[in-house]
Structure 1
Amino acid sequence: MESFIYPSFHNVCQKTIVKCSLLFHGNFLDKCVDDILQVVRICNNTSYGLLGKNFTILLVPIATLYPIYQLICLLLLMLRLTFSVMYFLLWKLLAVTEYREKKKKEYKEAKKILNLVCNQMGTSNDGYSNSLFEAVRQDMYEIVDEILFISPTTINCKDEDGYNVIQSASEKVYNLIYHIIERKESYREINDSSENTLVHLAGRLAPSFVLERTAGAALQLQRELLWREEVEKLMLPLQLREKNMYKETPAMVFTREHQDLTKEGDNWMKTTAESCSITAALIVTVVYAAAITVPGGNNQESGLPMYKNDIAFTVFALSNAFSMFTAATSLLLFLSILTARFSEKDFLVSLPRRLIFGLLTLFLSTTAMMVAFGAILFIVFCDQKPWMLAPICAFACLPISVIVTIKLPLLVDLIQSTYSPIFGKHSYLESCKVSRKTQYLWIQREFEYALHEQLCCNS
């Protein structure tokens, strides 16, 4: 199906480009005149006499209308291109839906195969270690859930560096086994060979493939701070000040490990704030000048604007004032980012929140500025021509769509990272077998396995 759509879409675009280049080419009209003269010469040289001359006279207006015919052809091609794009997007939507259904089916089949393999291997720890820790590194909580449900004692397995599942857990795996760590104090007091507690380990820099899941160094540092705060909730206040064999507290480990990331986040936040502050400053300048120079001028006697009773003038005044205030607010927020301390804790809430509100006010000011400019055009140029309102609105949407397309993904990432919790109850945990919802069933299986091991040892 795809092989039929892509060539046709490509051909339509190619034909439209050829027609446009032909129509707006500098020698196009000269070519049309040469064609007309050539036809006239042919008709004069024929043996039809008067009939040939009359035919030549009729041919001249027909040839003169040839550019209009070309314009009509171009319009039809543009309509065809529009419908082709709509058809192409519809096909892509259907293809994405079909792809999702296919992936859901493959996911269910993979879970069935995983369950069969784990049941075949049984409750023994042998053979699970490599698969379990690879799943922990990749944050594939489904595999960890299945293995821990079949063999609960695998949570104590250690990798080549001497760390168990709890010490190596990533975000989704941590949410899965949180109730296990919370229930058993022995898990919270685990130390490695360097006397590092769980908080020390949480202060280490995440691997590069984990950091790349989050866009921007500042958001990556924010995610690392959230991870450390979550682990600190499990520990006692005295444990947060414990030192390892290198005489380092958890806070010292975090600062040392994230020193380069903090500098990168500092530069990223400053660069983003500077680029946005330039845009906000330009908007303030434009709308301030528009407010002073009233469209249409003032009445010489009263000094009031000439179009004060016009609805479009009211729209201009309100949108221009709103754009001025929001742009000034946005500019102040971005300047507050540039003058901040940029300490580690500032990246947790303070700096991202300023950037969020700065971007929101920047979007609002840009939209209001375009509305104000459209109202001015309508007042000055659209007298008795209401049909011009449609193209003005269409052109006004262009800069708005550009700035939203560029900055909206960043705004969404900021809001999700700042206000959407990455730890706690999530929908994906409801179907897990080792989650808090089914913890009693998992405790029962753990007790049965321990009892079975004890009976085997006694026998």
Structure 2
Amino acid sequence: MAPIYSRVNDLSNSTWSKTLLDEPLLTGRPTKHIGNKNKEGDEATKVLQLVCNEIDKLEFSGTHHPYYTRPLLEAACQNAYKVVDEILYRSPEAIQSTDKSGYDIIQLAIIHRSDKIYKRIYDTGERKNLYRTVEDSSKNNILHLAARLAPSHELNRRRCAALQLQHELQWREEVKKHIYPTYITRENIFKETPDMVFSREHEQLVKEGENWMKTTAESCSITAALIATIMFAAAITVPGGNRQETGIPMFTNNVAFIIFAVSDAISLFASSTALLVFLTILTARFAENDFLVSLPIRMLIGLVALLLSTIVMMVAFSATLFLVFCHKKLWMIAPICVLAFIPIGFTTTFWLI
């Protein structure tokens, strides 16, 4: 919070200013005085309104209060949309504020991936048509700015390079919707189109995303192949064996055997599907646009199929364990289910985190 309101330091002799700068209410960090997020949000809103009330009491010259300039620009960089809403409500002219590089809040929001601020200002602002054509000193339009690599703190919100690149592509597509078609291929003073800027800025991220995709697909392919092999062998050598006269399994009419047979088939088909999907990933071309939909969808399908095959494999093993070793002791179902849930629960939890 301190960076947002550092310009209010001139008011340090007042009590509210000292309290605001000492308490990190607007940073989202837990404090000793706030027990939950809702209360924290209410306190932050009160402090924000208190600061704005004190600023409004000060005299100024120009179209808007100078003390609103830096907080507004900093809020645009940090996606603090409540701060932007409050300042623009009190001083609509503050939307004209620019930083040392000449960027206004919509340009800063695009550069720093502040999606909430971008959508609010662009969808409701009277300067919508101006934003479609606005350019900086290097003749970069807003699509050029969206093509730049996101700040590291924004990239680190995604767990891997592939998802980071996907988010970058999604952001470019979002900005592209709100720009005139002629500006999509317009060059800046360096003779670069927005697509050229994106390729240059994200060259390393594309390589990292490709390496992550291949490494993950290779590891998961080995696991899927192992599960498929195990379940195929289990389908041939059914628990209890077969009758010598007819070749029919001994426990055909047993409920536990039916559960085993169905689970074995599902696990075999799911692992085979996962194996084939991961093979399509390993043989992909890994172009930039492939990371937008194609590759993430393939990876998602492969991981879901692999997770399903693992879960159903544990069900098949539990049914076999009950069928062969428990001798129809129903009380054994409880400990078997508990033990089977341990790897399933851990696997599901870790993949969803």
Contact (CA 8 Å) 2:270, 2:309: kept in 1 or not?
yes
Match of 1:209 in 2: 153
Q: Say if 1:399 and 1:136 are closer, same or farther in 2 by CA, change over 3 A.
A: same
Structure 1: 5+ residue runs without aligned partners?
A: 1-94, 410-459
Per the TM alignment, residue 168 of structure 1 is displaced from its structure 2 partner at its CA by 0.9
| Aligned AA (1:150) | R
SS of the aligned residue for 1:175 comes to helix
Match of 1:296 in 2: 240
Per the TM alignment, residue 235 of structure 1 is displaced from its structure 2 partner at its CA by 1.5
- Aligned equivalents of 2:38 and 2:195: distance in 1? 46
- Aligned equivalents of 1:384 and 1:228: distance in 2? 61
Structure 2: 5+ residue runs without aligned partners?
A: 1-31
1:164 matched to 2:101? The reply is no
Q: TM-score, normalised by structure 2?
A: 0.84
SS of the aligned residue for 1:383 comes to coil
Per the TM alignment, residue 218 of structure 1 is displaced from its structure 2 partner at its CA by 1.1
Match of 1:178 in 2: 122
SS of the aligned residue for 2:340 comes to helix
Contact (CA 8 Å) 1:118, 1:150: kept in 2 or not?
no
| Aligned AA (2:351) | K
Contact (CA 8 Å) 2:257, 2:319: kept in 1 or not?
yes
SS of the aligned residue for 1:238 comes to helix
Match of 1:388 in 2: 332
Match of 2:4 in 1: none
Match of 1:128 in 2: 68
Q: Say if 1:341 and 1:121 are closer, same or farther in 2 by CA, change over 3 A.
A: farther
Match of 2:268 among 308, 311, 324: 324
Contact (CA 8 Å) 1:182, 1:234: kept in 2 or not?
no
Match of 1:153 in 2: 93
Post-superposition Cα deviations, 1:347-368, rounded to whole Å, max 9, x if no partner, equal: 1111111111212112211111
Match of 2:37 in 1: 100
Match of 1:221 among 157, 165, 176: 165
Q: Say if 1:216 and 1:182 are closer, same or farther in 2 by CA, change over 3 A.
A: farther
Q: TM-score, normalised by structure 1?
A: 0.65
Q: Which of the pair is proportionally richer in helix?
A: 1
| Aligned AA (1:134) | E
Match of 1:371 in 2: 315
Contact (CA 8 Å) 2:235, 2:264: kept in 1 or not?
yes
Match of 1:286 among 212, 226, 230: 230
Q: Say if 1:147 and 1:384 are closer, same or farther in 2 by CA, change over 3 A.
A: closer
SS of the aligned residue for 1:325 comes to helix
Per the TM alignment, residue 101 of structure 1 is displaced from its structure 2 partner at its CA by 4.5
Contact (CA 8 Å) 2:228, 2:268: kept in 1 or not?
yes
Contact (CA 8 Å) 1:114, 1:143: kept in 2 or not?
no
Match of 1:189 in 2: 133
Per the TM alignment, residue 404 of structure 1 is displaced from its structure 2 partner at its CA by 1.1
1:109 matched to 2:46? The reply is yes
Tell me which moved more, 330-339 or 119-128: 119-128
- Aligned equivalents of 2:55 and 2:120: distance in 1? 18
- Aligned equivalents of 2:305 and 2:161: distance in 1? 23
SS of the aligned residue for 1:159 comes to coil
- Aligned equivalents of 2:50 and 2:74: distance in 1? 18
Contact (CA 8 Å) 2:122, 2:128: kept in 1 or not?
no
Contact (CA 8 Å) 2:133, 2:180: kept in 1 or not?
no
Match of 1:143 among 62, 71, 83: 83
| Aligned AA (2:82) | E
- Aligned equivalents of 2:263 and 2:55: distance in 1? 64
Per the TM alignment, residue 216 of structure 1 is displaced from its structure 2 partner at its CA by 1.3
Per the TM alignment, residue 105 of structure 1 is displaced from its structure 2 partner at its CA by 3.7
- Aligned equivalents of 2:349 and 2:222: distance in 1? 18
Alignment of 1:10-21 (within 5 A): none
Alignment of 1:300-379 (within 5 A): 300-379=244-323
1:239 matched to 2:179? The reply is no
Rg larger for: 1
Match of 1:198 in 2: 142
Q: Say if 1:191 and 1:125 are closer, same or farther in 2 by CA, change over 3 A.
A: farther
- Aligned equivalents of 2:196 and 2:325: distance in 1? 66
Post-superposition Cα deviations, 1:99-130, rounded to whole Å, max 9, x if no partner, equal: 33542342332243244245335862422221
Contact (CA 8 Å) 1:217, 1:264: kept in 2 or not?
yes
Tell me which moved more, 361-370 or 267-276: 267-276
Per the TM alignment, residue 182 of structure 1 is displaced from its structure 2 partner at its CA by 7.5
Post-superposition Cα deviations, 1:327-384, rounded to whole Å, max 9, x if no partner, equal: 1111111221111111111111111111112121122111111111111111111114
Contact (CA 8 Å) 1:118, 1:146: kept in 2 or not?
no
Alignment of 1:409-424 (within 5 A): 409=353
- Aligned equivalents of 1:121 and 1:285: distance in 2? 76
| Aligned AA (1:136) | A
Post-superposition Cα deviations, 1:302-348, rounded to whole Å, max 9, x if no partner, equal: 11111111111111101100111111111111221111111111111
SS of the aligned residue for 1:241 comes to coil
- Aligned equivalents of 1:196 and 1:116: distance in 2? 37
Q: Which runs of 4+ in 1 moved over 6 A?
A: none
Q: Say if 1:142 and 1:320 are closer, same or farther in 2 by CA, change over 3 A.
A: same
Q: Say if 1:104 and 1:181 are closer, same or farther in 2 by CA, change over 3 A.
A: closer
Match of 1:399 in 2: 343
RMSD: 2.0
